[in-house]
Amino acid sequence: MNEGRLKCILSGLRRYELSERERRFIWKVERTLNGGGMLAENEEFILEELYEDKTKFIRDVIISMLQRSNHQAPVTSVVSNPSAK
């Protein structure tokens, strides 16, 4: 995994509520990277999965909210352009 992707994932995960175990794992990853070390392949996999799980949950909530709002208040009117005559 390249450095840019790692930074993106780590900064993205800071936006979410993490369990104590997840926070400890992130701390270990950051400590390894700040010390000039590299992540093991399984650590990269776990990091990617954690990020996907967190972002998928938020994405699903947003989609659900949008679908509910679309069903409750459908847009049926068309705004006319008064300057077009």
- Could you tell me the two tokens for 43? 């650590």
Question: What is residue 73's predicted lDDT score, i.e. its pLDDT?
Answer: 52
Q: Could you tell me how far CA 67 lies from the centroid of its own chain?
A: 20
Q: List, for residues 7-46, the tens digit of each pLDDT value.
A: 899 999 998 889 999 999 999 999 999 999 899 999 999 9
Distances (CA, A) of 12 to 8, 15, 54, 81: 6, 6, 9, 42
Please tell me the distance from the alpha carbon of residue 21 to that of residue 26, in angstroms, as a whole number.
9
Closest C-alpha among 11, 13, 31 to residue 22: 13
Record the pTM: 0.67
pLDDT at 26: 95
